[in-house]
Structure formats: structure tokens, C-alpha cells
Chain A
Amino acid sequence: MKVLNREVGRKGEEIAAEYLAAKGYEVILRNYSTRFGEIDLICRGKDILVFVEVKAKKGLKFGRPEEMFTRYKLEKVKRMATVYLEGRDVPCRIDMVAVVLDEFNRPVEIKHYQNVT
């Protein structure tokens, strides 16, 4: 089961990266990890650095992917973003991408929420 979840997550990140690339973002880093945790995607948008948290769900039986993005998780992403920036002062924001997959891991729904802080 655990392995399956990781599979869903990895697939979700892949789909999100493609989706963002299609929207004109340049993905510069995937799975940036520190001792605090991981940032799924780091992208360069128009004049802005974007940290992206991806949440994927297979079916909606256990709730929407958005519900899995908690205040705690947001704080974690913020902290890691601070680490990544190392004090550099660049415009940046945190986005969230929610991906819903069907039983064959094909995307049914992709939603991109900008600036979720």
C-alpha cells in the first residue's frame, strides 16, 4: 500500500510538471530535499520563483487532494523555501497543484492554485 501511495505521488508530480511546463513555467528542480522535508517542484515563472506542492489522489473516495494540503504542510514548505533561498531576496510564491487520477493513473482533473499562503 505504501509503495502504491508513493507511485501515485510520483505520477502526480510528473503530471503537474508537464502541466506547468505547458503553462509556460520552467521547471528548474524536482524533489529538492533538505533535512526538513521536500519541495516537489521549483519553477521559474515570469519574473518570479515558484515553489510548488503537488497533491495527488486516486479517485475521490477519500476526499479531495486539496484537503490533504494542511496548514502544517504549508508551514513546512515555507521553511524549506527559506532554506533554498539562503537569504537571497527574489520575488517568489508558493503554489499548489491538485491532481486527481483514475484507476489507471491517468489524470482526470488538474487544478493549479497560485499563491496559497
Chain B
Amino acid sequence: MLVKVRSVANVGLVALPVTVEVDVAEQGFPGFTIVGLAGKAVEEARERVKTAINNSGMDFPPKKITVNLAPADLPKDGGAYDLPMAVGILAASGQIQDSRFMIHDSIYYGELSLDGDLRATKGVLLVGLFARSISPSNPPLTAETRAEGEKVRGGNLKGVLPEIFVPIESANEAAVVEGISVFPVRNLKELVDHLNEVSVIKSLGYLVIEDLVEDERVEYDLAEVAGQEQAKRALTIAAAGGHNLVMWGPPGTGKTMLARAMPGILPPLLPAEALEVTRVYSVAGLLQPGESLVRRRPFRSPHHGVSAAGMIGGGSNPLPGEVSLAHLGVLFLDEMAEFPRSVLEGLRQPMEDGQVQIVRAAAHVSYPASFTLVAAVNPCPCGFLGHPRRECRCSELAIRKYRGRMSGPILDRIDLHVQVPAVEVEKLSNAPSGPPVTAKTRAGGEKVRGGRGSYDGSGDVRKKVIAARKIQEGRFKSDGIFINSQMKNRQVRKYCPLNGETERILRLAVEKWDLSARAYFKLIKVARTIADLGGEKDILPVHMAEALQYRQMG
């Protein structure tokens, strides 16, 4: 008998429908064949499915079994087809009452373990979004139309809402999708009992995105870094407007600590943003079991040994790289000059477009990669160039070679250049002796006083950043962007009119330093963010002057 079971294939961030056709023939030599451009992992599903069925107390039929994964020209890989195949085989051999419509209409997705349990499988959020896209009611995802969604749900249109059966450990990912029924499946036996109406698997309740609490953990607080007010200010601007930042300075002055404090001053993800980030993490298989949504802005700090494929994304069925995992968050490159040139140059396209196109023989996918670049560099190989007391031992040539590793086009794309000089001893020794700053005191917005300089702790800075982002959000309501750094030139002209004096300062600087057209627009964007941080409606000369100050390279 022939049974068709629905499943999906994830290509990049898109789920495409796949029909798993299972034929269990009465005639013919027993065997199990899988066709339909099945990758190695799908081929091996034969042994998993067979053993899982037997170990679940059901019979793997000793008959000629042919499985076809349609469409035939779409490459399929991974363990997610285990479940639809097992369901198809059990239905085609009469162990699931096939007269029920559910088998044909529901989507099955998940990898089987040999004992019949379902393992966490990547990409479940995409399955949920796909199911929603084919839902007849198709309710929107955001809060505004929640009431409408509740009506659909309250009406209990069983059989109208698309049903998906996914591993219990990954099911929470799909629970944030409205308008579908998500069934968390623990093992094959439980699923078969559910389909045969012997027992019932309860579908997951819809998780309202806005209700999911944000993880408050903070690794480093800005207040823990001694001095470095200028760098902290630059970090604040970078966080508020999403501008790229590079910190120049000798070893041990706090560059890395400052960068690591960045997550603590970034605003929480908006619901739509959280969904975007989670899609990437779901595909990459980086969500923890039971995790539903990424609620913190990503902070990625790949080691400089990273390959181009690791940074940009790659593989024959391309997976997202570091730039995409840092989407809507921070990509931190410590010791930027140590990264291979090819890796750094590969950043140019994503920095410009906010996404990466990865082309391989088997697939052509595009991943979002709208990140804020934060980099730390020593000024020279020995690190002490420009140090007030220590002598730099590098030759002119060595310094030139070292700087040459970061090409002009890359440095031109970085809006904020800031010095992180050696710290004065007095500032270090005046460290406060109280308990370390925790999330709790941070939330209280306590200003850290004492000899550590006059800059605020992360809690206060974050409030300012959030306020500045609110202003930007309001400004770009109809533009489909969120922050100043995402403005196109057309939007810069629209939202950033310059008055006479401001314009004059900018022109002067562009002529004096021979700045590129890109740098010209980037300067205006940074000035816009500085004005937003100050709560000013217009960009004043003082804002432009500060923006210009961050253009001088180390």
C-alpha cells in the first residue's frame, strides 16, 4: 500500500515542502530502498527507522519497501526524514489506522534514535513558519492582531489549523508561531498511540513572544573597566546606532573587556528581531533543548584562526557562518590584524548589504548578516606604539606591514575609531572595594562612583541606548529598518538635514582628510546617533564635531 506523508526540507532559511511517499509492496523481495536525492544521513535512516520501529514494540514489515522523497531534484540531507518515513511505513503496513486524514495533512519532522525516542532536530522553527504559511487562517505574528488570533484559537477549528509533529526537545521553537498546532513527540510509540487514538499528545500552548522574559545575565559591566571614558562613549554610540567600531591600543588596557561589556548595554531584541535571530540559530542547530526563542542580542567572538567558510557560512548545504550568527548583534574581532586577509575581505559584502549570498554547487542560499562590527587592534606588532612610557621596538616596515593586513576598504567601513591608551595607575588603585556589579544592582541603575572615572555603569548606559533606539524606531517606522547605521543614502538626505554651520564643518573635514563618499555619509549617520543620544532633534555642529573625532585612525 502507498502512503504519502508531508515533511519539509530546509534550504537556507526557507522551508520547502517535501512529500515522503512510502510504498510497502506485497510482492517482491524484502528490502528498504530510499530514492529522491537522499544524502548520506538520509540513506542511513534505513537502519535507524528499522531499529526504532522494532524497539518500539511494533513490526518492521518484512516486505519490499520503497520510499520516495519528492520533489526529486531537491537535495535532502539530515535525520529529519526519519519520523515521516517511520510514520509512512507503519501506516502502509496497517499499524496506524490510515483512514485518518491526519497522516496526509500533518507535517512530520524529526530524527529517530535507535530506541524509538525523538532527538532534538535543527530547523523546527522553520517547520512551524512553513506550516503557518499554508494555514488557511494565516494570522499575523505580531501583537497587534493577537485578539484576532485568539478568536481563531478559541473557536477550536480542529483540523483547520495545520498540525506539526516534532521532537519534544525542539518543539518550543515552533510554539512561538501562532495559528498552528505543535505536537511535541517524545517517542514513536507515543505518536502511534496518538494517531490511533489510544492516548493523546497534548499540543503546545502558543507562546506569546512579548511575554518571554529576557535573560538578564551580564558578563562584564562597563564600570569594571578602569578609565577609558572616550572608548566607553564610542561603545555607547556604537550600541545606540549600530555603528562599527575599532579600538586601537596597547595590550592589557581593557579593549577586550570593553567589547565584552557591549551585550550589557545593547537593548533587548524586538519581537520581530528575536524571530529573525532564532531562525538562524534554529537552522544552525545552536538552540538549547527546550529553548524557544533567542532573547539576547548575539555576541560572537570568533578566534582569528577562523576559516572563510566559518566566518561567512558554507558547506555543500550551506550553514550560517559567524556573520549570520551575529545578526542583529555584535561580531567582535579580537586582534583584528591577525585574521587572514581573505576572511576580513569577506566581511565587505555583509557589512554593506546586511546579508550574505552563499553559492555552492548544490544550493544557493542567502542568510541575514546585519551585525555591528567591534574590533580590537594593537597599534603595532609589539603593541606599544604611542605608549606614554614604554618604547615601541617595531621597525617602520613592520608597522606598515602590520597595518596593511587591514585593507583600506575595511577600515573605511568602520565609523568609529577610538584610542584605548594605557591606564594611569591612580585610576587602577582607586578600584571600589564593594561587591562586584551584578544584574540586580545594574537594574537599579546605580552609578558607580569613586576613582574609576566618571562614566556610568552598564545599567544607565543601556537606558540611554534604549532611549536613543526608541527615537530611531519612531523615525524609521515606514522604512523597514531599525537603526541609523542601516540608513541608505536616500534616507540620510531625508532624515538628516544639516544646517549651515554643521555642513561647513563636515565639508572642511572631507576636504582636509580626503574622505570617501561613503565616509561622508557614515559621518552624518554617526552624528545623527550622537544627536539621538542627546535627545536633540537636529544635528548640531557639536554632534558633527564629535563624529569627526572618531574618524582619526590609530
Contacts and interface: CB of A to CB of B under 8 A. Distances in A.
Interface in A103-117: 113, 116
Interface residues of B, number: 4
Contacts of A64: 30, 62
Interface in A86-117: 96, 113, 116
B101 interface: no
Interface in A10-46: none
A30 B29 CA distance: 23
B62 A116 contact: no
A69 B28 CA distance: 14
A117 to B, nearest CB: 9
B28 A66 contact: no
Nearest to B30: A66
A78 B28 CA distance: 18
Nearest to A66: B30
Contacts of B30: 64, 66-67
Contacts of B62: 64, 66
B133 to A, nearest CB: 42
B contacts with A: majority SS: loop
B32 to A, nearest CB: 11
Interface in A59-80: 64, 66-67, 69
Contacts of A113: 28-29
Interface residues of A, number: 7
Contacts of B28: 113
A100 B195 CA distance: 34
A66 B30 CA distance: 7
A113 B25 CA distance: 13
A116 B29 CA distance: 6
Interface string B23-36: 00000111000000
A69 B29 CA distance: 10
A113 B62 CA distance: 12
Nearest to A95: B29
Contacts of B29: 66, 69, 96, 113, 116
A78 to B, nearest CB: 14
A82 B62 CA distance: 30
Nearest to B28: A113
B288 to A, nearest CB: 39
Nearest to A117: B29
Interface string B370-396: 000000000000000000000000000
A65 B62 CA distance: 10
A67 B63 CA distance: 11
A109 to B, nearest CB: 11
A58 B28 CA distance: 23
B64 to A, nearest CB: 9
A75 B62 CA distance: 22
Interface in B27-82: 28-30, 62
A66 B62 CA distance: 8
Nearest to B63: A66
A67 B30 CA distance: 8
Nearest to A67: B30
Interface in B246-293: none
A2 to B, nearest CB: 27
Contacts of A116: 29
A24 B148 CA distance: 72
B59 to A, nearest CB: 11
A24 B230 CA distance: 98
A95 B164 CA distance: 43
A96 B29 CA distance: 8
Nearest to B64: A113
B43 to A, nearest CB: 14
Contacts of A69: 29
A87 to B, nearest CB: 28
A113 B27 CA distance: 8
B62 to A, nearest CB: 5
A75 to B, nearest CB: 15
Contacts of A67: 30
A116 B64 CA distance: 11
A67 B62 CA distance: 9
B55 to A, nearest CB: 14
Contacts of A66: 29-30, 62
B423 to A, nearest CB: 71
Nearest to B31: A66
Nearest to A71: B31
Interface in A38-56: none
A114 to B, nearest CB: 9
11 contacts: A64-B30, A64-B62, A66-B29, A66-B30, A66-B62, A67-B30, A69-B29, A96-B29, A113-B28, A113-B29, A116-B29
Interface of A: 64, 66-67, 69, 96, 113, 116
Interface of B: 28-30, 62
Given A64-B30, A96-B29, A113-B28, 7 more contacts: A64-B62, A66-B29, A66-B30, A67-B30, A69-B29, A113-B29, A116-B29
Query: 6 closest pairs, A vs B, by CB?
Result: A116-B29, A113-B29, A66-B30, A64-B62, A66-B62, A96-B29
